[in-house]
Chain A
């Protein structure tokens, strides 16, 4: 019997029997040891006890009354957005219910629903829908397991998800990362409430508050942080400092400069990294000077050549500016220091330093004494950190060039990051030409940074390359990564054109056995997924 029930008072006209507590005690000890109240002595004591207990049990059950209500919950903030059409809601439920089946080896011809969830959420958010409330628990569970889903899932989930997350600790992440921090956070005018939450709140609440304030008013967030900076623990300082990344501006420089003297090495290096992303900062200037003194053009040679004189020591000033003095095992100290200096130096300064050349011309210059790899790699990191498309373009080179696919200075991962700094159209075009020239084997990461759905030329290049790979007789699972991307990223309008590829063809002579059938299956899955995506979008539009 649950304690939160109340028992009805015993009626006056019912003759009082033995109390329930007495019956329980007698039953626990046994009637041999304790004669139950009101029972005749002798062998029938157990039956008498059970008789009395049966009456009492039914009486107690029949008399149960509701207990007092607890203090009511503050209702969730209203969400003015409409819920999606019913068919779209059912689709979302299906997507959320799909869990990868363990050990289901080879991929079947059916679409991988979980992978379509991000798209569904993005499409629903674009249309301004709110999550149907009853699906919020499944949505939060999915977002809990996949951090990449969180921003879109929480935007779709709206204020009610924040309300729910306060009731269920498993969903606490929603309080931290909810857009705008949710309804719990004090508003712009509530300075006192804000100060109190900042000083007394839990870590997650404080991070949420700082992030929310930073989004509203960058300076106010910095001042909030500065007020308690000296008393924060090192791990917390690191997290708080990281939240300044959003809305970083020249006004943050004095605060970051002070953080360069922090007791914690991680805090120091994060502060240095943030400062180096501000080209006008004093730190960026110091780094430009240090890096510039190491790299110059030697005009005395037959062709102008970059010569590198790496630093001979890592002095205290460099360390204070975030340069790590100890090189990882297997790397020369001097090249390690050089890399860090060049990475942190503003790219805009190189043209003046190297004879007024454009980034293209600088990258094309030969580099003496095997320094090219080190130098170009550092420029790549700088282009990504400073989001500089003209340097990224120069470092990427022409996609059709032979060395673009080779193991040159720029690794595939770096190339993908460089592509990320280019406008979407240019990115897709570069990758399309790259695929047409070099095939698919190196393209997974590059495709991953292209905007979804893929542009028509990019989609065509991928499909053509897959068709060529099939004709070459290899197995489709050598391309499963690209296939999976194509399922999620190809424009659903391409499905019709792909239909022809789903028919099983005879294997070419030198093909791997059975490959043709597997390819037909893989293309069926591709077409099936594209159709499903088209249906998903139609459902969201109420079609």
Chain B
């Protein structure tokens, strides 16, 4: 995660917290008073004793040297990972005021850290050998092929069923669907889950929310139904599609596809990290930008509901690492591979700014990305020389009745041009919008975000002059 001996910032530590309560409890423990015998070693182990309510203090150990993120252990009964003690100790260590001095780790800390590192090494080796075994043995390959075939049959049955239901819907009219409410969609989504097509299931579930989403809902519902139809048809005729598009269809349907693209080594700076959660899953999106390749790629990490996904990369961190692309979908999504040495700017929070484009180019980039993936809602773009401001609101272009609450509409305008991208409604409701406006103060800024058919969602901004990245999400 970081260079040994280089401390993290408090922001980086707090980004590890699984929820807001932990963040708060952790910051409270980030003071010297409850801790004793704390220290850190050159091997990347941080340890300490934290006085709790009981007679015996908790033993907390963190391994910050692991490339796949820090690992924790604590003798407290909390089920959260990391627990508030681990967060508190890391904060204290990050504070760097001598409360966690460099030293020799006590036996209990050394034992855990070395057990863990050995375990991780063995697991890595074990994985390679089993992969090899299943790949080589014809019997194993045959079984895997049959499994995949069976799943394809399920998905095909699901897609046919979905097409039938969409047909019924369009025959009766979308106006009638509004009266049916969520039940219709939930039931259809459940069928798609049975058909082992989670991508179809989640799209169907999202359809259910559209009729209640305000003016213009029939247009949005028709768009999404049409794209769902396109996906179903794509699956049913996948043999006739070009390879790239077929892979995109498979990944949009929700079939697993290992990241098997060639390894791309670069200095990746973390542009943004944000979580979205539904009742089942927390999804973390991490956007990286490669200094050499100029590519912007997406890492996804998942956590069970209410728990933070394991991977956490604070904005500004720079990693020297391999990434491998997942197939399809414009190859935006990658998996993190080997990490080399330690990021050279890891703790300074000063990843390079990606080069930016104007608003017209940003819209065009999204349009071009639709060629590879017509289901794409947005595309990562860095805008430079843009000024956030309220959308004057007197209709502007196609004034289809957007009269109400013009003060709520915001845009990013080219500083030396006369065109602007609207901000998405989700961006408008976030406190990040105000951070962006405050950072700009009416002057041009550089903004990284997602540009799509709903508008632009700003995720990170840089001031006009020198200055670190400001996360907006």
> Which A residues fall within an 8 A CB radius of B?
1-7, 23-24, 27-33, 45-47, 49-51, 53-54, 56-58, 60-76, 86, 90, 93-94, 97-99, 101, 108-111, 113, 133-138, 160, 163-164, 167-168, 502, 524-525, 527-528, 531-532, 535
Contacts and interface: CB of A to CB of B under 8 A. Distances in A.
A36 B107 CA distance: 77
Residue from A6, A113, A137, A502 having most chain B Cβ neighbours under 10 A? A137
B388 to A, nearest CB: 9
A167 B440 CA distance: 13
A74 to B, nearest CB: 6
Contact of A528 (B27, B31, B414, B455): B31
B32 interface: yes
Contacts of B441: 75-76, 133, 160, 163
Contacts of A46: 166-171
B367 interface: yes
B454 A2 contact: yes
Given A2-B454, A46-B171, A67 B419 contact: yes
6 contacts: A32-B172, A53-B222, A61-B366, A72-B442, A73-B389, A101-B24
Contact of B422 (A5, A32, A133, A160): A5
A90 B420 contact: no
A3 B398 CA distance: 6
Contact of A64 (B367, B424, B442): B367
Given A50-B225, A53-B225, A54-B374, 17 more contacts: A3-B398, A7-B398, A46-B171, A50-B229, A54-B227, A62-B367, A64-B453, A65-B363, A66-B362, A66-B419, A70-B389, A70-B396, A73-B442, A98-B27, A99-B24, A111-B28, A531-B32
Contacts of A113: 27
Contacts of A65: 360, 363, 419
Given A57-B226, A64-B366, A70-B391, A28 B33 contact: no
B24 A137 contact: no
Contacts of B370: 58, 61-62
Interface in B273-306: none
Contacts of A532: 31
A273 to B, nearest CB: 41
* Chain A, interface SS category: helix
Contact of B229 (A54, A94, A134, A160): A54
A525 B418 contact: no
B311 interface: no
A64 B221 CA distance: 19
A67 B463 contact: no
Contacts of B21: 101
Contacts of B392: 70-71
A436 B336 CA distance: 65
A524 B33 contact: yes
Nearest to A71: B392
Interface string B383-413: 0000101111101111110100000010101
Nearest to A23: B222
Given A5-B422, A73-B387, A109 B51 contact: yes
Interface stretch (B142-150, B186-194, B263-271, B431-439): B431-439
Interface in B111-136: none
A28 B175 contact: yes
Given A1-B454, A4-B411, A535 B97 contact: yes
Contact of A525 (B10, B33, B166, B395): B33
B396 A30 contact: no
Contacts of A502: 33
A156 to B, nearest CB: 13
Contact of B171 (A6, A31, A98, A164): A31
Contacts of A163: 441-442
B174 interface: yes
A65 B414 CA distance: 13
Given A98-B27, A532-B31, A32 B226 contact: no
A524 B396 contact: no
Nearest to B360: A66
Contacts of A64: 363, 366-367, 453
Interface string B245-278: 0000000000000000000000000000000000
A141 to B, nearest CB: 8
Contact of B230 (A4, A32, A54, A528): A54
A167 B409 CA distance: 12
B314 to A, nearest CB: 12
A73 B437 CA distance: 11
A41 to B, nearest CB: 13
B160 interface: no
A72 B387 contact: yes
B173 interface: yes
